[in-house]
Amino acid sequence: MTKRQRRQDRLHSLRAAAAATDHLTLTGGAVNFIEAAAAAEGEAPKLPRFEILGYTGAPMRVGFYSYPVVVDLASMTAPNATCPILKDHDQRQVVGHADTIDIGQTLTLSGIISGTGAAAKEIVANAKNGFPWQASLGASVGEMTFIEGGKTGTANGKTIKGPVYLAKNTVLGEVSFVAAGADPKTAATVAAAIAAAQSQEMHPMTFDKWLTAKGFDATDLDETQTATMRAMYDAEIAASAGTPAPTPATTATPATPDPQVTAAAEPDIAATMREQAAAETERIAAIQTICAGSHADIEAQAIRENWDVNRTEVSVLRAERPTAPNIGSGRPAPSADSLTAAMSLAAGLPEAGLLADFGEPTMEAAAPMRRMSLPRLMERCITLEGQQPPSDFCNDTIRAAFSTISLPGILGNVANRTMLESFNAFQAVLPQIASETDVNDFKTHTRYRLTMNGTFQKVGADGELKSATLGEESFTQRLDTWGMVLSLTRQMIFNDDLGAFLQIPRMIGRKANLAREKAGFTLLLSNPSDFFHANNDNFAAGSDTPLAIGSLSTAEQKFYDQTDANGDPIGALPEILLVPSSLKVTAEQLYASLKLNETTTANKAKPSDNPHAGKFRPLASPFLNNANLTGYSALAWYMFANPADLAAMEIAYLRGQRTPTIEKGDTDFTNLGMYWRGYWDFGVAMQDSRAAVKMLGTTE
């Protein structure tokens, strides 16, 4: 097997996996009608019955697959003992029901024309007149696999050779009578005694899925184009039925074959040649009519490469699509904004926020595209820039899409929105205990805090105000850059793995917040320059420091006793109780409970009023008791002032950028894909020791 064949087989396997939830229709099965026997006197009239040979279990050619398809009858199920019988797959047109469903190495059904409406009457009346109704069976597919060339599988009691598709775990849904299940020239109805493999037809795609496979979106087409594509779809369904077979009889007993009719006729070579010449002339004339002198390049290629009418029509429609008017849908033509909104919906971003950003018309255009595949998005981006995407998705499509402005912009926008959604959803603790500011570069900055010497004094009779002097306290701050890279690889594109791509910016948003949290708590636990120390009157250790009512009172007292340069109380009050995750429940109880049971010296519980109820908002961080950080403790806890009033810590950002940034990065020549980098510039520093108190929490 050549490398190209192996690539094609892998692609077929991917397509088979993607088709796992497709709906298949097996069209062209033979229908035998059995007239009802005469009812006995006094009995209700008996209803006519029918018999259907739905599928023989053999491989069949299906219009949208490159290789034959086999339905594994051993794994097919019928959810009910009866099966509804409709006309043209329309639930409003009930014909009857099947009361016998036989799924073995073939699929057969029999039932009663039990409907009372116009559809049932039409079916019976036309059958009596000899009309050859056909049956179309609808089934959903649980698993579609691809057997590569040179390999074999087993289904329906037979060995099947690859390359072939194998549909497993199908569920029979309904059976419909159809007037024309196949093109008359290639009709493939099945008589009760014939089991020809080519007499069956299976269509795994609805009209909408067929459009997608051809590279179109229903919202792009006007009414005339939709009608044209619908006709082409019906023609492909009819044309994929297989070799002709005898028309079924309309009674239970088949007519005896006429030997003169069934005798093999000698081939008429001259007639065959004339027929082929006529068919070629008709094909060329049809191509010229479709191209109408406006698409000479398509016309020449179609004639040269033996295209059929359908392929020519699709190519002309694609060529005209960028400028085709969008009539009748009421939606604006797809744009970069609507594609961005559609991909954002696919990423699970809140619709309310997207509506505020994009507006109602754009969101209406985006809604039908929210399940768009990555390959389809790339084709749309190529079309947006006035180019023609290749007829089949391939490496050329990827290269052309990467060269556009639209695709990187759309994916980068969606990645950024997804990252910010995850970033904002993260419950960060550090920004709640630290102030935030901005700097202009990465140099070490000395930050200053103004102080004042002097106090308000009583004004004497001369009216003179006493002078005060300004002083300053300083600390240093320096930024660092934190970041990572995300990529959209060629394999992800062919796998249509948009979900995996969108998970990466979510992780970046979360990792960015985690990086800031870890940097802040690493600094806090390292206690730089003895920030928490008895000399600063903001630290205590010993048996009276475990988290309780008494130790809360001690920590609060330390806040009250903090003084400024003049020795006067600074008046900053504690508002936040910061604890490790191991003390979270205790902190919440101390905040919410009006009474607590505390142990006496006799080791008996004694109810006690809680004077600190509702005072100190509890915050818990697992970084405080994380063993990976130096200085961690499951017992130590902290009290902080409101950082907007007096800050113990400060977070600095580069020029106001307080969230991470995602940018498209260039790839080298050896990589076929697209890369984005996520980064964030920030720094954390300790600021004012009077704004926090640490209690060691040990009993020693």
Residue-wise pLDDT tens digits, 438-495: 888 888 776 555 454 555 566 667 767 655 554 555 567 778 887 777 677 777 777 7
Does the pLDDT of residue 605 top 70, yes or no?
Answer: no
Q: Which residues of 649-682 are buried (b: 16+ CB within 10 A; e: fewer)?
A: bbbbbbeeeeebebeeeeeeeeeeebbbebbbbb
* Predicted pLDDT of residue 249: 36
**Mean pLDDT on 592-615:** 73
- Averaging pLDDT over each range in 36-40, 445-449, 500-504, 541-545, which range is the top one? 541-545
Instruction: Tell me the torsion sign for CA atoms 286, 288, 292, 297.
Output: positive
Does the pLDDT of residue 635 top 90, yes or no?
Answer: yes
* Predicted pLDDT of residue 162: 84
Residue 688's pLDDT band, with cuts at 50, 70 and 90, is very high
- Averaging pLDDT over each range in 61-75, 97-111, 271-285, which range is the top one? 97-111
**Amino acid at residue number 612:** H
| Structural domain boundaries, residue 175 | 3-205
Domain membership of residue 680 (yes or no) is: no
Query: With left for phi above 0 and alpha for psi between -120 and 50, is residue 359 left, alpha or beta?
Result: left
Residue 622's pLDDT band, with cuts at 50, 70 and 90, is very high
**Amino acid at residue number 332:** P
Does the pLDDT of residue 231 top 80, yes or no?
Answer: no
Q: Find out whether 134 and 31 touch, Cβ atoms under 8 Å.
A: yes
Least confident span in 152-166, 532-546, 579-593: 152-166
Of 160 and 456, the one with more pLDDT: 160
Of 329 and 305, the one with more pLDDT: 305
Helical packing angle, 395-402 and 374-384, nearest 10°: 50
Least confident span in 153-162, 389-398, 428-437: 389-398
Tokens representing 354?
């997207």
Among candidate residues 78, 136, 83, 80, the one with its CA nearest the CA of residue 103: 78
CA distance 301 to 513: 56
Helix, strand, or coil here: 211? Answer: helix
Domain membership of residue 242 (yes or no) is: no
CA 116 to chain centre: 45
Q: Find out whether 51 and 109 touch, Cβ atoms under 8 Å.
A: yes
* Predicted pLDDT of residue 219: 67
Between CA 285 and CA 386, with CA 221 as vertex, the angle to 5 degrees is 85
SS (HEC) of 117-129: CHHHHHHHHHHHC
pLDDT digits (tens, 9 = 90+) for 123-145: 888 888 877 777 777 777 778 88
Question: Can you list the alpha helix ranges (DSSP code H) found in 497-639?
Answer: 498-526, 549-560, 584-592
Least confident span in 35-39, 444-448, 525-529, 592-596: 35-39
- Averaging pLDDT over each range in 329-333, 521-525, 564-568, 602-606, which range is the top one? 521-525
Mean pLDDT, the chain, rounded, equals 76
**Mean pLDDT on 170-174:** 84
Within the chain, how many helices (H) and strands (E) appear? 19, 27
Helix, strand, or coil here: 254? Answer: coil
Between CA 153 and CA 164, with CA 159 as vertex, the angle to 5 degrees is 55
Residue 243's pLDDT band, with cuts at 50, 70 and 90, is very low
pLDDT digits (tens, 9 = 90+) for 336-348: 899 999 888 888 8
* Predicted pLDDT of residue 376: 85
β-pair type (69-71, 164-168)? parallel
* Predicted pLDDT of residue 668: 58
448 CB burial (10 A radius; 0-12, 13-18, 19+): exposed
- Please tell me what DSSP assigns to residue 359: -
- Please tell me what DSSP assigns to residue 652: E
CA distance 615 to 578: 13
Among candidate residues 236, 103, 230, 115, the one with its CA nearest the CA of residue 177: 115
Number of domains in the chain: 1
Tokens representing 65?
């697959």
**Mean pLDDT on 542-566:** 91
**Mean pLDDT on 527-546:** 94
Residue 503's pLDDT band, with cuts at 50, 70 and 90, is confident
- Averaging pLDDT over each range in 370-374, 509-513, 685-689, which range is the top one? 685-689
* Predicted pLDDT of residue 414: 87
* Predicted pLDDT of residue 606: 58
Residue 692's pLDDT band, with cuts at 50, 70 and 90, is very high
Least confident span in 94-108, 124-138, 140-154, 232-246: 232-246
Q: Find out whether 688 and 449 touch, Cβ atoms under 8 Å.
A: yes
Q: Find out whether 287 and 307 touch, Cβ atoms under 8 Å.
A: yes
Does the pLDDT of residue 672 top 90, yes or no?
Answer: no
β-pair type (202-203, 23-34)? antiparallel
pLDDT digits (tens, 9 = 90+) for 267-316: 455 566 667 777 888 888 888 888 877 788 888 888 888 888 778 877 77
CA distance 565 to 655: 33
Q: Find out whether 107 and 55 touch, Cβ atoms under 8 Å.
A: yes
pLDDT digits (tens, 9 = 90+) for 14-51: 445 444 444 555 555 556 666 555 555 556 667 888 88
Tokens representing 633?
């403790």
What is the maximal distance between C-alpha atoms in the chain?
140
Does the pLDDT of residue 201 top 70, yes or no?
Answer: no
Q: Find out whether 422 and 505 touch, Cβ atoms under 8 Å.
A: yes
SS (HEC) of 34-102: ECCCCCCCCCCCCCCEEEEEEECCCCECCCCCCCCEEECHHHCECCCCCEEEEECCEEEEEEEEEEEEE
* Predicted pLDDT of residue 93: 86
Neighbours of 363 (CB within 10 A): 20
For the chain, the residue count is 700
CA 592 to chain centre: 42
Tokens representing 453?
């010497």
* Predicted pLDDT of residue 537: 93
Does the pLDDT of residue 247 top 50, yes or no?
Answer: no
Domain membership of residue 639 (yes or no) is: no
Helix, strand, or coil here: 165? Answer: strand
Residue 576's pLDDT band, with cuts at 50, 70 and 90, is very high
Does the pLDDT of residue 395 top 90, yes or no?
Answer: no
| Residue 142 neighbours by CB under 8 Å, 6+ apart | 20, 75, 168, 169, 170, 171
- pTM higher than 0.85: no
Sheet holding 143-147: strands in order across?
A: 69-71, 164-168, 143-147
Least confident span in 90-104, 450-464, 583-597: 450-464
Helix, strand, or coil here: 575? Answer: strand
Domain membership of residue 259 (yes or no) is: no
* Predicted pLDDT of residue 225: 64
* Predicted pLDDT of residue 89: 75
Does the pLDDT of residue 183 top 50, yes or no?
Answer: no
* Predicted pLDDT of residue 691: 94
CA distance 128 to 105: 31
- Please tell me what DSSP assigns to residue 659: S
Domain membership of residue 445 (yes or no) is: no
Least confident span in 185-189, 359-363, 503-507: 185-189
